[in-house]
Amino acid sequence: METTEKAYLTKRVVERATRKGMRQAAQKTMNVVGYIVVARDGWLMKEFPNGLTEKIKPLDTSENIGPIILD
C-alpha cells in the first residue's frame, strides 16, 4: 500500500506569507508613487518615505462599510 503525504497550509504560514507580500507591495508602491495610504489611529493617512504623515480624512466605521478593494 502506498501512502502519500499531502501538503497543507496552516494559519501561521498563510499569515506570514500575507504580511511579507503586503510589506513588499507597500515598498514597491512607496518607490513608484512616493507615498502609501494607510489607516492608522482612526485616520486615513498618506505616509511618505521620510516618515512624515499627512492626514487625509477621519475614518468613520459606522459609515460606508463595504468590501476593501486594493489596486
Domain residues of the chain, as ranges? 11-58
Q: Which residue has the cell 482612526?
A: 42
Cell numbers at 71, concatenated? 489596486
Q: Could you read off the pLDDT of 42-66 as tens digits, one per residue?
A: 889 999 999 999 999 998 765 555 6
Q: Are 28 and 48 in contact (CB under 8 A)?
A: no
Count CB neighbours of 30 within 10 A: 14
Query: What is the C-alpha to C-alpha distance for residues 51 and 16, in angstroms, rounded to an integer?
Result: 25
What is the pTM (predicted TM-score) of this model? 0.62
**Residues in contact with 10: Cβ distance below 8 Å, sequence separation at least 6, in sequence order:** none
pLDDT at 16 over 70: yes
